[in-house]
Structure 1
Amino acid sequence: MYLIKIKGIVQGVGFRPFIYRICKELSIDGWVRNTKDGVEVLISGKKKKFLDLLFKRKPKASSIEEIKVKKADLILKKGFYIRKSKEKGEKNLLITPDIGICENCKREFEDRSDRRFKYPFINCTDCGPRYTIIYDLPYDRENTSMKDFKMCFVCKKEYEDVFSRRFHAQASCCFDCGPEIWIEKKNGKVIKGIKAIDEVVKCIKEGKIVALKGLGGFHILCDPFNEKVVFKLRKRKRRPYKPFALMMKNSDTVRKYCYLSNKEEAILKSWRNPILLLRKKNKRIPEIVAPFNNYLGVMLPYTPIHLLIMKKVDVVICTSGNRGGEVIEYENEEAKRNLWDIADIFLFHNRRIVNSVDDSVIQYINGAGKVIFRRSRGYVPLPVKLNRKK
């Protein structure tokens, strides 16, 4: 019998369900649980096979920084199960960054027969909010802002099903039990549900400025090809020259306006989904978007809400929801107070953002690799490792 303690990015990435599955595959008895400094596993045997599969198949967003294995003499039930998290001990855990929507969730999102078809908050153990919703460790639903939403019967059934991708997915939800979206206009009109997305797209096409509550804060959206509205945005944000970031529908759209290498495309499509600085290919994007600059800051849609909007437009300005020089807004009422003189319409949701994050900004440079200009969503709160001796 062995007690294994694992530290690293091992909570909020589907690590316990992953451990459960490989132990079931190997017919190992024991248990797994979250602790305040990682994950603890007790196995009845087959240590070498277990460790081999652990490193070969670990979830893509996970990272094992330290692993300790010792023989144990504990009472063990027959079978393998997930135990309640261990609350005692000193907190010493890497909190998982937020993860862009995965391919499996995208497929469900597009499937008319799926119960989460076009659901703005679809997620699973492989993707979705992490750092932005967590209050405390360990990463369990009651320690996140998802505690405000009680799982419906079907979501609960998936949560308890070892064969489901949402087995122990802490942020899992659906139309029946999860967060909702709505828009508010300056005239007081409110539109709820998916119709709100249609109204947002209509407003963008009409030359209006939209404030959208996203994953880690508010974005400001408008049509980059409408120079009058871009000028208006610069005036309202008091941002005369600084480039605006763009969100583009997909890689094919990016290639219409920018040079994009295979390595750059891999960064754009990675689970971190940063803004990537790409060299302009032509002058089809108006100069006012990124004046006196040979590069455009580009990102792909990384949340279901973004996907709903980008289904109907190819390119939007997608810049931080703040006044020039101030922090990004992330609370509904504060955003209304501080952004009403910038935006014409607001898209809100009621999943609380606990920790705000802005979009990370990266450039790929030949010979140097990835250069990070702003380290935020997708990277924080992970530490930066320095290559030096103590």
Structure 2
Amino acid sequence: MQGIELRIKGKVQGVGFRPFVWLLANQYGLNGDVNNDGQGVLIRFVSPPADALEQFLSDLQNKLPPLAQITDITQRAIDWPEATAITGFTIRESENNQMDTQIIPDAATCPHCLADLFDPNNRRYHYPFTNCTHCGPRFTIIKAIPYDRKNTAMSVFPLCPQCEREYKDPADRRFHAQPNACSVCGPHIWLQDREQTLATHETALKQTALLLQQGHIVAVKGLGGFHLACDANNRKTVDLLRQRKHRPTKPLAIMVPDLQFLQDLAPQETELLTSSAAPIVLLAKHKVPNIADNIAPHLQEIGVMLPSNPLQHLLLRTVNRPLVMTSANASGQPPVLKNEYAVEQLNDLADFYLCHNRDILQRADDSLVRVAFDGLETLRRARGYVPDEIPLETQSTKNVLALGSDLKNTFCLLRHNKAVLSQHIGDTANEQVRSQLSENLELFQNIYQFKP
């Protein structure tokens, strides 16, 4: 029996690509199967009609899921004796051999999940960990490859029957979404002070918003670390945060509930703020009205971001004002990742702690960018961009590991015509930061089967 085999490479795993292929194949009446393997995605068709295959290939490249990206498609004819028994189109199990595909960065909450989050009739109404194959945590929850739930921080949360049905249904946008969860089976939040839990679930969220409105400083657990949050309109609280952090003049980033809190944005600035990476974008001060004058003293720009995960969307919608969101770390220390360390190490910085029980396995600070006259300037590359590969014009004959520099440390794996840059790691004078550097380097070498 004759068949056609398509080999797809790029960002094609963990992004809803196989169900997308399944839907297209059924739309055009094609028989065969699709699966993930070490090289990317493999699609096989049983004697496909030429016109249907042509339409399939066109849609495959032009109607991709939001986070997917194809870098290479190769097509070849194959002898397929078993194909005589195949009717319809199926999704086969993944093959866990060596990987030659891209790991996906964490992605900001997509419009569909945002609609679920604020729909009172949806079962994920106000659930702070809503996600699907178009959005949610990726890099920050991974501990090994392949990117399956058992190899992530979600392994300790067994799926409830409803979530499992979504996870196994190719027609559902949560098909094989590894962080898939709901309030029945997934992580939860709580508010605590230095000694005890004060509230859980939605009550914790409402109390946190009230505390922020009253001028308190709250450590908030996010995707890649904790933030220190406070009311960006409250000059006195911002001064207090500066005193506690020993940061008298250094600028502080802020998070706004939505674009309505900003004005006169350029199209590229809007595009960056609302992108799946959701970085901090440096904006001219006049574009950010109604915030305290000590957020970024003596500077003409302010770093601004939108909420990048459901918990932040819920908190910002509830507090309904801009918040300072700066990395939660004591002076000279790396940002905190664990709940118990937050209470211990941020004791002199935060009044309260909004925590959750989904572990952060990989640190990822907020990325920082600016729209420059000659394009995009990236000042800190981390959450939302890492570990994206950077294509190069020249081909390297060796695997090269580059490290440095001391104060703004990252590392880079150079292989073939691609550079894999780590997230911002920071000042390696600190032993804990050096330890994070070593752990991340080991993970990246494992993910990419890289030996310099």
TM-score by length of structure 1 reads 0.94
Instruction: Please give the secondary structure, in 1, of the residue aligned with 2:34.
Output: strand
Structure 2 equivalent of residue 55 of structure 1: 61
TM-aligned CA distance change 1:37 to 1:225, over 3 Å: same
TM-aligned CA distance change 1:20 to 1:326, over 3 Å: same
2:304 is aligned with what amino acid?
A: V
Shift of 1:361: 0.5
Instruction: Please give the secondary structure, in 1, of the residue aligned with 2:56.
Output: helix
Shift of 1:212: 0.7
Decide whether the 8 Å contact of 2:262 with 2:289 is kept in 1.
Answer: no
Structure 1 equivalent of residue 337 of structure 2: 330
Q: Distance in 2 between matches of 1:4 and 1:228?
A: 61
Q: 1:199 aligns with which of 197, 201, 207?
A: 207
Q: Distance in 2 between matches of 1:124 and 1:269?
A: 17
Matches within 5 A, 1:56-75: 56-74=62-80, 75=82
Task: Say whether residues 1:263 and 2:237 are aligned partners.
Answer: no
Task: Say whether residues 1:345 and 2:352 are aligned partners.
Answer: yes
Matches within 5 A, 1:8-23: 8-23=10-25
Structure 2 equivalent of residue 301 of structure 1: 307
1:226 is aligned with what amino acid?
A: N
Structure 2 equivalent of residue 36 of structure 1: 38
Decide whether the 8 Å contact of 2:106 with 2:277 is kept in 1.
Answer: yes
Q: Distance in 1 between matches of 2:134 and 2:371?
A: 26
Shift of 1:243: 0.6
Q: What are the Cα deviations for residues 116-159 of structure 1, in whole angstroms up to 9, with x where unaligned?
A: 11110111111111111112222222221111111111111122
Q: 2:327 aligns with which of 306, 320, 326?
A: 320
Q: 1:278 aligns with which of 274, 283, 296?
A: 283
Q: Distance in 2 between matches of 1:33 and 1:10?
A: 11
TM-score by length of structure 2 reads 0.82
Matches within 5 A, 1:130-145: 130-145=138-153
1:67 is aligned with what amino acid?
A: I
Decide whether the 8 Å contact of 1:159 with 1:168 is kept in 2.
Answer: yes
* Identity %, equivalent residues: 39
Q: What are the Cα deviations for residues 91-128 of structure 1, in whole angstroms up to 9, with x where unaligned?
A: 33210001100111111111111111111011111111
Instruction: Please give the secondary structure, in 2, of the residue aligned with 1:384.
Output: strand
Instruction: Please give the secondary structure, in 1, of the residue aligned with 2:71.
Output: strand
Q: 1:382 aligns with which of 385, 388, 393?
A: 388
Q: What are the Cα deviations for residues 227-284 of structure 1, in whole angstroms up to 9, with x where unaligned?
A: 22212211221222111000001111022xxx41122111111111110000011774
Structure 2 equivalent of residue 359 of structure 1: 366
- Which blocks of at least 5 consecutive residues in structure 2 are unaligned? 397-452
1:227 is aligned with what amino acid?
A: R
Structure 2 equivalent of residue 83 of structure 1: 92
Task: Say whether residues 1:180 and 2:183 are aligned partners.
Answer: no
Matches within 5 A, 1:115-134: 115-134=123-142
Decide whether the 8 Å contact of 2:285 with 2:302 is kept in 1.
Answer: yes
- Larger mean Cα displacement after TM superposition, 172-181 or 285-294: 285-294
Structure 1 equivalent of residue 233 of structure 2: 225
- Larger mean Cα displacement after TM superposition, 116-125 or 25-34: 25-34
Task: Say whether residues 1:287 and 2:296 are aligned partners.
Answer: no
Decide whether the 8 Å contact of 2:32 with 2:44 is kept in 1.
Answer: yes
After superposing on structure 2, the runs of 4+ consecutive aligned residues of structure 1 that deviate more than 3 Å are 386-390
1:334 is aligned with what amino acid?
A: Y
- Larger mean Cα displacement after TM superposition, 281-290 or 51-60: 281-290
Q: Distance in 1 between matches of 2:209 and 2:178?
A: 31
2:64 is aligned with what amino acid?
A: K
Q: Distance in 1 between matches of 2:250 and 2:25?
A: 53
Higher relative contact order (CA 8 A, sep 6+): 1
Structure 1 equivalent of residue 107 of structure 2: 99
> Would you say how many aligned residue pairs link Structure 1 and Structure 2?
385
TM-aligned CA distance change 1:293 to 1:387, over 3 Å: farther
Q: Distance in 2 between matches of 1:144 and 1:43?
A: 32
1:8 is aligned with what amino acid?
A: G
2:360 is aligned with what amino acid?
A: I
Q: Distance in 1 between matches of 2:195 and 2:177?
A: 39
Instruction: Please give the secondary structure, in 1, of the residue aligned with 2:33.
Output: strand
